[in-house]
Amino acid sequence: MKNLIILGSGGHSKVVGETAAENPKINEIAYLDDKFITKKNFQKNSLDNKIIGKIDDICKTSIRNKYKLGFVAIGDNLLRKSLLGKLIDLGYNCPNLINSKATVSPTARINSGTAIFANAVIQAEVKIGLGTIINTNAIIDHETLIAEYTHICPGVNIAGQVKIGSNCFVGIGSSIIQNIKIGNNVIIGAGSLVINDIPSNSKVYG
């Protein structure tokens, strides 16, 4: 069993923390967050886990020696990318955190630092990039490719053979039909139906 340090202690981190707590290979869980640390004593979050310092404390020898696992629980894609890169450079092992109620095909390929939450379904030969979030009740159908640091929000339905680029945000309840290609840095508004390809650096809704 190994100890896990989680970067960020906001709302998203609560879901990450509950998912991590299910993992029998994880022992102690603690948090680093610039907003919540006090100098006099440790604070705790709703899961009774300690917030033990600021995010830059991942560089401290005492933290690195005690916590061999690291995870970024921050929704902002670019910030998550930056911090996950730092964890990897510092030698932390960045696991995938997959909720016990998620369904993941044995042929799916999921890169490090990815969160997959309750009732998500990942079908055959799906590929998911580094540091991605597959949120509650999202469905990713066969052979879909999702690049790194993308956030698939709750209730999103993605059909087969879709390609989604890096640093994308697919809003809650959206649907994407089969064979669609979506570029990098795309924001798709909540409840959207995507029936055409979307170029990089676009914001779409409806």
Q: Active-site positions? A: 142
Nearby residues of 115 by Cβ (< 8 Å), 6 or more positions away: 15, 16, 19, 71, 73, 96, 97, 98, 132, 133, 134
Q: 19, 8, 2, 11: which is closest to 119 by C-alpha? A: 19
How far apart CA 100 and CA 202 sit, in angstroms, is 34
Q: Which amino acid is residue 164, in one-letter code?
A: I
Q: Which amino acid is residue 168, in one-letter code?
A: C
Is-contact 6 16, C-beta < 8 A? yes
Is-contact 183 166, C-beta < 8 A? no
- 176: tokens are 């994407």
Nearby residues of 197 by Cβ (< 8 Å), 6 or more positions away: 180, 181, 182
Using the 8-state DSSP alphabet, how is residue 79 labeled? Answer: H
